[in-house]
Structure 1
Amino acid sequence: MDLRKLKTLIDLVSESNISELEITEADGKVRIVKSEPAAAVAPATVMHVAAPVAAPVAAAAAVAAPAPAAEAAPAAETGHVIKSPMVGTFYRSSSPGGKAFVELGAEVKEGEPVCIIEAMKIMNEIEADQAGKITKILCENGQAVEFGQPLFVVE
């Protein structure tokens, strides 16, 4: 495997929430696992902070929990969500300064490209999996996206 690809993979794993990545290609197999020391440090820090301030932490968790649910619920109620099929960088157009594949309010057909996600220096066109009107664009151009992250809402 090319060293540039390997470095890109390592960067993607280190910048994302995934802890392990395994890729098999014709010329070999690569497995990248985040190191354990970072995971061991986090619980100690959380325990130290949570012990003296248990009530505010619980209250903060209670406040934080409804917010993501409230954001996700309207998206599910108002239309179909097109999600990222991979980890990478989100681009609205095929070239810098180029015309975006779709704009807010645009009608899309099933199978029509709506964006590009760059992963390992490969540009992957993401297609609409349902026809309809784009009602929300949930990512910014050049933003890193995770697997399963909502990109668009289609009604």
Structure 2
Amino acid sequence: MDIEKIRTLIALMEENELVNLEVSSDDEHISLTRHYDAPAPTVMAAPAAAPASAAPAAKAAAKAGSVETAPMVGVFYSAPSPNDPPYVKVGQKVQAGDTLGIIEAMKIMNPLEATQSGVIDEILVDNSEVVQFGQPVIRYKA
């Protein structure tokens, strides 16, 4: 892939405020990721119930205790499959590195891992809910 194609892809990312872009062809593959100091605005179709869920997330962010945030935009799943038990429950002790859930982004299942040890105080999103970059997902007890 020549540099002009890469520049065109970067311009496309900036123009559409994309955080990630992945392009593949027969013999080429490129993956671009933009990093921000603050969460990037994201344009995404959301279910009709999404505006109602924004208020509880804002309220939850104001409570005491540290939180795990979504590292990317995607769909949060609390269990490996619909018939399996959730990875974590309220009141459960977790160690740094434990899987708290999965975030599906671009058909790739990405584990959400605990960055610290602690006790789960609150799960701030529902199973199959769309999460945004930086959105609080799990709260630990203070």
> TM-score under structure 2 normalisation?
0.62
Is the CA contact (8 Å cut-off) linking 1:130 and 1:154 kept in structure 2? Answer: no
1:111 pairs with one of 88, 97, 100: 97
* Aligned ranges 1:1-155 → 2 under 5 Å: 19-21=16-18, 22-24=20-22, 27-28=29-30, 71-74=60-63, 78-155=64-141
Looking at structure 2, the residues matched to 113 and 95 of structure 1 have their Cα atoms a distance apart, in angstroms, of 14
Instruction: Report the CA distance between 1:134 and its aligned residue.
Output: 0.3
Which secondary structure state, in structure 2, belongs to the residue aligned with residue 115 of structure 1? strand
Once the two structures are aligned, what percentage of the paired residues are identical?
41
Instruction: Compare CA radii of gyration and give the structure with the larger one.
Output: 1
Which secondary structure state, in structure 1, belongs to the residue aligned with residue 87 of structure 2? coil
Looking at structure 2, the residues matched to 127 and 29 of structure 1 have their Cα atoms a distance apart, in angstroms, of 23
Structure 2: tracts of 5 or more residues without a match: 1-15, 33-41, 44-55
The total of aligned residue pairs comes to 101
**Per the alignment, do residues 71 and 115 of structure 1 end up closer, same or farther by CA in structure 2, a change over 3 Å counting?**
closer
Is the CA contact (8 Å cut-off) linking 1:92 and 1:100 kept in structure 2? Answer: yes
Q: CA RMSD in A?
A: 2.7
Is the CA contact (8 Å cut-off) linking 2:57 and 2:124 kept in structure 1? Answer: no
Looking at structure 2, the residues matched to 120 and 138 of structure 1 have their Cα atoms a distance apart, in angstroms, of 23
Looking at structure 1, the residues matched to 96 and 136 of structure 2 have their Cα atoms a distance apart, in angstroms, of 17
Structure 1: tracts of 5 or more residues without a match: 1-18, 35-66
Looking at structure 2, the residues matched to 147 and 88 of structure 1 have their Cα atoms a distance apart, in angstroms, of 8
Q: Which structure has the highest helix share of the two?
A: 1
Instruction: Report the CA distance between 1:95 and its aligned residue.
Output: 0.8
